[in-house]
Structure 1
Amino acid sequence: MVTLLLFLVPLIGGLVSFGLKDDRTARGWALLVATIGVALAVWGINLPAVDAGRNFHAGWMGSLGSSFSLNLDGLSGILTLLTTIAYPVILVATWNSTYKKSNSFFGLMLLAQAGIIGVFLATDALLFYFFWELALIPVYFLCSQWGGERRIAVTFKFFIYTFTASVLMLIGILYLYFQTPDKSFSLQSFYNLNLSTREQSHVFWLMFLAFAVKMPIFPFHTWQPDTYEQSPTAATMVLSGIMVKMGVYGVIRWVMPVVPAAAYSWGDVVMSLSVIGIIYASIIAIQQNDLKRLIAYSSIAHIGFMSAALFAESTSGAQGVMMQMFNHGVNIIGLWIVVELIERQMGTRKLSELGGLAQKAPALAILLVIVAFANISLPLTNAFVGEFLMFNGIFNSTVTQYNHVFAVLAGLSIILGAVYTLNMVSKVFFGNTNQLTARATDILFNERVALSIVVGIIIVFGVYPQPLLNLTAGFVDSLLKEASVAQLIGK
C-alpha cells in the first residue's frame, strides 16, 4: 500500500493545490504534502524486502495486457528517497521566491513529483510510459509560464527533444509487447523474451536514445543548458537533481536486462560517447561566465561518468552508479540553491560581476564550500564513495578491452571538475567586494535550513555510506545477473 500512497499523495496534493487561492496557503500545503512524502519513502524502504507493502497490483487495461503494478526495490527505493527528500528542500529554499498564480505553480510541481515517483515504481511498460509523460508535461508548463525571457523558444526545443525521445521509447515498448507470448506489458515478460541479436540491437537504440536524451549524454545534450538557464530555479532543481535520473533509471531497468546482448555489443560505443561528453562538458563549464550554465554543464559531465560506469557491467561500477544518482541529486540541488540565493539578492548570475561575498555572507560561503567539495568528490563527502566505485568499475571492467583508456579519460572529470568548481567559488566568494556585492547580506533562516539539510546529507553519507550500499546491494546483484550472465547463455 505504501507504494500506491507514494504516488497518490503528491497527485492528490497537486490537484488540491490548484483550488487554493492564497499564496501562503499554497506554499504551506505543498510543503506539507512533500514532507508526508519523505515519511512514506522512509517507511517503504525500511519494510522487509518480502513485505507485501512494497508492491501494489491492480487491474488497469486488462484487454491490452497492462496492469497498474508498482514495486519498491533497491533501485526505485533510493530514487524515491531522493525525490521525496529533494522536494521539501527545494520548497524551503525557494520560500521567499514570488510566483504569479502560485497555486498553479505548486500544483504543477507536485504533479511532476507524482509522475517522477510513478516512473521509479512502475513495473508495467505502458504504465511506465504514462508516468513518464505525466512527469514531463507539468515541467513544460513550469518552464513556459514562469521561465526567463527566452522561455518560449527554449521550451519548444525542450519539447521537440523530449517528444521525439518519447516516441522512440513507445515504439520500442510496443515492439517488445508484440513479441511477448501472452501480449503483456509486464516487466518480467520483457525480461523473459528471447530476441535475436538483430532484434535486440534495434530495440536497444530505440530505448537507449530515448533515455540518452533525458540523461542527457553527448551529443543529445544541447537542450539542457538553455532549459536550465531559462527555467525558474525550483523547476531547474527538479530537472537537474531528479528528472535526469529518469534516463539513467530507464537504462538500468528497461534496457540492460531486456536486451543484454545488445547492451554488451554496443557498450564501447556508449562508453565512448560518455567519456567524450565528460571532457567536452567539463571544458565548456570552465569557460562559462553564467552560474546556471556552469552547473548545467557540470551535471552533463557527472551523468556521463555514471553512463560509462553503468556499461562497464561490473558490481562496483553499478553500485557506484546507484549511490551517485542519489548523491549527485543532493549535491546539484545544493548548488542550485546557492545560485537562486545569489541571483535573487544580486540580480545577476555572472561570475565577472560578483566577488567578495564571503565577507558579507559568511554562512552562505561556508555551506557552499562544503557543497563544492562534494561536487568534486573530496574524501569524507558523499560523492567520494560513489565516484570511487564507478572509477574502479570502469578500470576493472571485463566487457571492454579499452577499460583502462576509459578509466583514465573518465578520471579527468575529477581534475576538470575541481578546476571549474573551485574557480566558481573563488570568483563569487573571495577577493574584494565591488559596488554590487558590497550591499549583500547573509542568508535567511529558511535558506540556512535548506542548505544545512543538504550539507548534513553530504557529511553523513560521506562518513557512513553503508545504508545506501545496503539499500542497493540486492538489486545490483540481480541486475548483473540479468544483464551479463543472461546474454552469455543466449537469453
Structure 2
Amino acid sequence: MMVILLLFLPLLGGLVTLLFKNGAAKTVALLFALAELALAITILAKFVPDATTQFGVDYNWIPRFGIHFKAGIDGISMIMVLLTTGLVPLIILSTFKHENTKTALYTLILLMQTGLLVVFTASDGFLFYVGWEAALLPIYFICALWGGADRVRITLKFFIYTFAGSLFMLLGLIFLYMQTPGKTYDIQAFYALNLSPERQSFVFWAFFLAFAIKMPIFPFHTWQPDTYTESPTAGTMMLSGIMLKMGIYGVIRWLIPISPLGFDKWGCTVIVLSVIGIVYASLIAFNQKDGKRLIAYSSIGHVGLIAAGIFAWNIQGVQGAMIQMLSHGINVIGLFFIMDIISRRLGTRDISQMGGIAKVAPQFSIAFLIIVLGTVALPLTNGFIGEFLLLNGVYQYNIWMAAVAGLTIIFGAVYMLRMYKKVMQGETNPLTATFTDIAGSEKVLLLIICVLIIAIGVYPNWILHISEASVSSLIEQVNQKKLIVK
C-alpha cells in the first residue's frame, strides 16, 4: 500500500490545490510535496538494499488484455523516487518569490510528479507507458501557458518530438506483448523472451528512439535548448532535473534487459553518438551569451556522458549513472534557479551585460560558486564521484572513447567558470550595482542545494549502496541472457 500512496498522494495534492487561490496554492502544494518526500524517506528507511523488488502491488487492471496495475521499488527505482520526491519541493519553493503565479501551475507540477513516479516504479509495460504520457501532458501545458514569447512554436516542436518517440515505444510494447506466451505486459515476461537478433534490433530501436529523444542524445536533442530557454523556470527545472531521467531510467530498466542482442549490436553506435553530443554541446556552450541557454547545452553534455556510461554496461558505468542522475538533478535546478534570480533582478540573462555581482551579493556569490563547482565535478562535490565512475566505465569499454568523453569535464570547467567570472567578478556596472543579496525562500533553497552538493560529495557511498545489488543483478542477468541466446 505504500507504493499506492506514493503514486496517488501527489495526484490528490494537485486536486486539492485547485481549491485554493494563487497565494495559498503554493503553500498547499509545498505541504503535499513535503508529505510525499516524508513518505519516500519512510520507504527508504524500510527498504532492504538487495536485488529484490519491494513494496510491490499487483492488481488486475484490464484483464482482457493482460494489463495489470503492477508496481514496486528496487534499488534502481529507489534512487529515482528519492530524486523525484526530493526535487519537487525545491522546485515549488523556487516559485515563492514570483508574483502572480497561478494555482494551475502547482496542480500541473503535482500531476506531473504522479506520472514520473509511475514511470519509475511500474513493472507492467502498459502502466509504464501510461505514466510516460501522463508526465508529458502537464509539462506541455506548463511550457505553453507560462513560457516565453516564442513558447507556442517551441512547445509544439517539443510535444511532436516526444509524442512521436512515445509512439515508437508503444509499438515496441505491443510487439513484445504479442510475443509473450500468456499475452501480458509484465516486465519479467519481457525479460524471459528469447527473441531472434533481428527482432531484438527492432525492439531496441523502438524503445531507443523514445528514450533518446527524452534524454536527449545527439542528434535527437534539437528540441531541448529552445524548450529549456523559453519554458518558465519551474518547467525547465522539472524537464532538466527529473523528466530527462525518464529516458535514462528506461534504458537501464527496459531497453537493455529486454533486447540484449540489440544492445550488443547497436550499443557502440549509441556510445559514439553520446560522445559526439558531449563535444558538440560543449563547443556550442562556449559561445552562449544567454545564461539559461548555456546551462541547457551543458546539460546535453553531462547527459551524453551518462548515456555513454550506461551503454558501456559494467558496474562502474551504471552505478555512475545512478548517482550522477541524482547529482545532475540537484545541480541543474540550482543553476536554473541562480539564473532565475539574476533574470528577475536584472531583467536580462545576457552574461555580457553583467559583472561585479559578488561585491554586492556575497551570499549569492558563494552559493553560485558551490553549485558551479559541483557541476564541474570538483572532488568532494556531488558531481565528482558520478563522473569518475562514468569515465571509469567508458574506459573499461574503450580507452579512446573515454579520452574523448573526458572532454566534458575539461570543457565544462572552462565555460562554467568563465560564466561565473563574467557574472560575479570584476567591477559593477549601472545594471548590477543595485543587485540585492538572497533572502527568505531564496536563501533556504540555495542552502539546501549547497548542503546536498557537499554532503553527497563527501559521503556518496550510501547512495551507491542503495542501487548496487539491483544494478549488479541486472548486469549479470543481461550478460547471461546474451550468452544463452547466442
Q: Kindly provide the amino acid, as one letter, of the partner of residue 457 in structure 2.
A: G
Residue aligning to 1:165: 165
Residue aligning to 1:479: 474
Q: Kindly provide the amino acid, as one letter, of the partner of residue 97 in structure 2.
A: N
Identity across the alignment (%): 49
Q: For the Cα contact (< 8 Å) 1:17–1:103, is it kept in 2? A: yes
What CA deviation, in whole Å up to 9, does each residue of 1:195-221 have, x standing for no partner? 000000011001001100000010000
Distance 1:266 1:296 in 2: 27
Residue aligning to 2:56: 55
Q: Kindly provide the amino acid, as one letter, of the partner of residue 43 in structure 1.
A: T
Distance 1:97 1:57 in 2: 42
Distance 2:91 2:447 in 1: 12
Distance 1:194 1:485 in 2: 12
Distance 1:463 1:273 in 2: 32
Residue aligning to 2:484: 489
Q: For the Cα contact (< 8 Å) 2:3–2:72, is it kept in 1? A: yes
2:381 maps to 1:381: yes
Residue aligning to 1:33: 32
Q: CA deviation at 1:120?
A: 0.3
Residue aligning to 1:440: 435
Distance 2:281 2:4 in 1: 38
- Partner SS, residue 123 of structure 1: coil
- Partner SS, residue 289 of structure 1: coil
Q: For the Cα contact (< 8 Å) 1:47–1:53, is it kept in 2? A: no
What CA deviation, in whole Å up to 9, does each residue of 1:282-316 have, x standing for no partner? 01011100011100000000000000011111111
Residue aligning to 2:70: 69
- Partner SS, residue 359 of structure 1: helix
Q: For the Cα contact (< 8 Å) 2:94–2:442, is it kept in 1? A: yes
Q: Kindly provide the amino acid, as one letter, of the partner of residue 435 in structure 1.
A: P
Distance 1:313 1:384 in 2: 20
- Partner SS, residue 58 of structure 2: strand
Q: CA deviation at 1:99?
A: 3.8
Q: For the Cα contact (< 8 Å) 1:146–1:232, is it kept in 2? A: yes
Distance 1:467 1:39 in 2: 18
Structure 1: runs of 5 or more not aligned: 398-402
Distance 1:3 1:58 in 2: 13
- Partner SS, residue 348 of structure 2: coil
Residue aligning to 1:419: 414
Distance 1:349 1:70 in 2: 42
Residue aligning to 1:400: none
**Distance change in 2, residues 1:197/1:364 (3 Å):** same
Distance 1:269 1:314 in 2: 17
Residue aligning to 2:231: 231
Q: Kindly provide the amino acid, as one letter, of the partner of residue 42 in structure 2.
A: W
Q: Map of 1:79-478 to 2, 5 A cutoff? A: 79-99=80-100, 102-397=102-397, 403-478=398-473
What CA deviation, in whole Å up to 9, does each residue of 1:153-208 have, x standing for no partner? 00110011011001111001100110000000010010000100000001100100
Distance 2:260 2:274 in 1: 19
Q: For the Cα contact (< 8 Å) 2:53–2:72, is it kept in 1? A: no
Q: For the Cα contact (< 8 Å) 2:53–2:74, is it kept in 1? A: no
Q: For the Cα contact (< 8 Å) 2:237–2:333, is it kept in 1? A: yes
Q: CA deviation at 1:53?
A: 6.2
Distance 2:196 2:35 in 1: 46
Distance 1:5 1:24 in 2: 27
Distance 2:359 2:351 in 1: 16
Distance 1:4 1:215 in 2: 27
Q: CA deviation at 1:275?
A: 0.1
Q: Kindly provide the amino acid, as one letter, of the partner of residue 473 in structure 1.
A: E
**Distance change in 2, residues 1:486/1:426 (3 Å):** same
What CA deviation, in whole Å up to 9, does each residue of 1:233-288 have, x standing for no partner? 01100100000000000111110000011111111100000000000000101110
**Distance change in 2, residues 1:394/1:291 (3 Å):** same
- Partner SS, residue 410 of structure 2: helix
- Partner SS, residue 258 of structure 2: coil
What CA deviation, in whole Å up to 9, does each residue of 1:31-56 have, x standing for no partner? 00100111111111221438996212
Q: For the Cα contact (< 8 Å) 1:281–1:300, is it kept in 2? A: yes
- Partner SS, residue 67 of structure 1: strand
Q: For the Cα contact (< 8 Å) 2:54–2:74, is it kept in 1? A: no
What CA deviation, in whole Å up to 9, does each residue of 1:405-424 have, x standing for no partner? 11000001110000110011
Q: Aligned pair count?
A: 484
Q: For the Cα contact (< 8 Å) 1:364–1:442, is it kept in 2? A: yes
Distance 1:156 1:98 in 2: 27
Q: Kindly provide the amino acid, as one letter, of the partner of residue 80 in structure 2.
A: L
- Partner SS, residue 460 of structure 1: helix
What CA deviation, in whole Å up to 9, does each residue of 1:448-469 have, x standing for no partner? 1101111111111101111101
Q: CA deviation at 1:482?
A: 2.3
Residue aligning to 1:12: 12
TM-score, normalisation: structure 2: 0.98
TM-score, normalisation: structure 1: 0.97
- Partner SS, residue 312 of structure 2: coil
Distance 1:380 1:210 in 2: 35
Q: For the Cα contact (< 8 Å) 1:371–1:455, is it kept in 2? A: yes
Q: Kindly provide the amino acid, as one letter, of the partner of residue 335 in structure 1.
A: L
Aligned-residue CA RMSD (Å): 1.2
